[in-house]
Amino acid sequence: MRIALISEHASPLAALGGEDAGGQNTHVAELAAALADAGNDVRVYTRRDDPALPECVAVRPGVTVVHVPAGPAEQVPKDDLLPYMGAFGDWLAAAWGGDWRPDVAHAHFWMSGLATVSAAQQTGVPVVQTYHALGVVKRRHQGDKDTSPAQRIGYERAVGRAVDAVVSQCRDETAELLRMGVPANRIALIPSGVDHERFTPDGPAEPREPGRPRILSVGRFVERKGFLDLVRALPAVPGAECVIVGGVPGDPLAGRLRELAAELGVADRLRLVGAVKPGDMARWYRSADVLAATPWYEPFGLTPLEAMACGVPVVGTAVGGLRDTVVDGLTGDLVPPRDPRALGLALRRLLRDPVRRLAYGSAALDRARNCYPWSRAADQLSTLYARVSGVRDRETTGAVA
């Protein structure tokens, strides 16, 4: 099939760890690769945010990244991109009217959904939507601090009704989508995968101090990842070092984490590494005794799965995708979100119990390998794509199934 993946702000080619570059970039890059490996012709459309970018970049056989000129050719925060989605959609419609018309377009994030639905109205290409994050959930947790455009929630609902299918990444998201009014028969639960070539238990690891347990945490430096809760939990985990990967130089959250650690007397046990290249992430997971994933909410959460694929147990908050990926008491421990006391207790218990860590780690590896290979997600999506494009063909030709 010819498959268009639309990811307006999250390019598969971007550096990760900054405020707007993380899981969606990884997801789109790895999904494109898995679909191409299955024999599809994939084009990823993302906004041109640097004048030096060529229009097309062949990333690997079967995958081309296309830089769409919509808005200024410079970095713009994702929450400010809405005004350019009309131009993005018109550009897609014009491109799909030429010699490369996709059989299906799969939009990632609500703004890509708007651009794609607009292009689909002009071209008849069927549309699948993955939200990656939902405005209603963000508003519930962040209230006044939510910087999303005011129209987000309404537009997300409209996109959910306009597209042919919506992919949910976890059971929690399915419930949210149903509450948003997305018809149940249009929702397909297809979780992300993890790259089992990159994330393996064997291979080089970052050096560490002998005898000092290591808690690793990874993510974009946004408050909802709960890094402050993790630092608050540190006094309850004596002797352990806490290594946080992610963030960009000068990030205000880094300053707050350091101040808090100093107030709590744990500054010597907190290490902020900054952003790490995707290719180096496995080295950091392998160096850890446990991954602490502490979000307040999480649409899916790739980092717990990446750690599991490296045989590392997870202590995580019982939210969103973590409730599906981490099996409490088998591959890790789940604690309530924003509860440093419970987090500290769970981390201390696990770090003091090497047998439990080993058992969790091997069950985690098993689960990541068996339940979350990208090939499985790509298979399920291919079936969904075939279904929606078949439905659209029947609609346009007037044939009866």
Which region among 98-106, 300-308, 333-341, 376-384 touches ligand UDP (by CB under 6 A)?
Answer: 300-308
Among 32, 218, 343, 350, binds ligand UDP (CB under 6 A): 218
Q: Is 306 a binder of ligand UDP (CB under 6 A)?
A: yes
Report in angstroms how near the CB of residue 285 gets to ligand UDP at its nearest.
9
Token pair 């890509």: residue: 112
Q: Is 303 a binder of ligand UDP (CB under 6 A)?
A: yes
Phi-psi region of 224 (alpha: psi -120 to 50; beta: other; left: phi over 0): alpha
Token pair 């769970």: residue: 346
Q: Is 316 a binder of ligand UDP (CB under 6 A)?
A: no
Report in angstroms how near the CB of residue 284 gets to ligand UDP at its nearest.
9
Q: Is 219 a binder of ligand UDP (CB under 6 A)?
A: yes
Nearer to ligand UDP, 305 or 381 (CB): 305
The residues pairing with 63 across neighbouring beta strands, listed in sequence order, are 42, 60
Buried b vs exposed e over 390-401: b needs ≥16 C-beta within 10 Å?
Answer: eebeeeeeeeee
Q: Is 12 a binder of ligand UDP (CB under 6 A)?
A: no
**Beta strands 290-293 and 270-274: pairing type?**
unpaired
Taking residues 16 to 55 in sequence order and writing x for each that binds ligand UDP by CB under 6 A, - otherwise, the string is: xx----xxx-x-----------------------------
Q: Are the beta carbons of 378 and 35 closer than 8 angstroms? A: yes
Report in angstroms how near the CB of residue 22 gets to ligand UDP at its nearest.
2
| Angle at CA of residue 300, ends 70 and 241, nearest 5° | 110
Q: How far apart are CA 156 and CA 400, in angstroms?
A: 31
Q: How far apart are CA 311 and CA 314, in angstroms?
A: 10
Which region among 60-68, 108-116, 218-226, 348-356 touches ligand UDP (by CB under 6 A)?
Answer: 218-226
Report in angstroms how near the CB of residue 221 gets to ligand UDP at its nearest.
9
Taking residues 260 to 299 in sequence order and writing x for each that binds ligand UDP by CB under 6 A, - otherwise, the string is: ---------------xx-x--x------------------
Q: Is 254 a binder of ligand UDP (CB under 6 A)?
A: no
Among 113, 160, 301, 361, binds ligand UDP (CB under 6 A): 301
Nearer to ligand UDP, 191 or 301 (CB): 301
Q: How far apart are CA 294 and CA 291, in angstroms?
A: 9
Residue 112 identity = S
Q: Is 361 a binder of ligand UDP (CB under 6 A)?
A: no
Report in angstroms how near the CB of residue 26 gets to ligand UDP at its nearest.
4
Q: How far apart are CA 373 and CA 245, in angstroms?
A: 24
The pairs formed by 67-73 with CB atoms below 8 angstroms and a separation of 24 or more are 68/8, 68/92, 70/8, 70/115, 71/47, 73/48, 73/49
Q: Is 246 a binder of ligand UDP (CB under 6 A)?
A: yes
Report in angstroms how near the CB of residue 209 gets to ligand UDP at its nearest.
21
Q: How far apart are CA 4 and CA 65, in angstroms?
A: 10
Q: Are the beta carbons of 237 and 347 closer than 8 angstroms? A: yes
Which region among 120-128, 162-170, 172-180, 302-310 touches ligand UDP (by CB under 6 A)?
Answer: 302-310
Alpha carbons within 13 angstroms on the beta-carbon side of residue 155 total 19
Nearer to ligand UDP, 226 or 246 (CB): 246
Token pair 């030429």: residue: 98
Nearer to ligand UDP, 164 or 176 (CB): 176
Q: Are the beta carbons of 19 and 9 closer than 8 angstroms? A: no
What's the length of the chain? 401
Chain residues in the site for ligand UDP (CB under 6 A): 16-17, 22-24, 26, 218-220, 245-246, 275-276, 278, 281, 300-303, 306
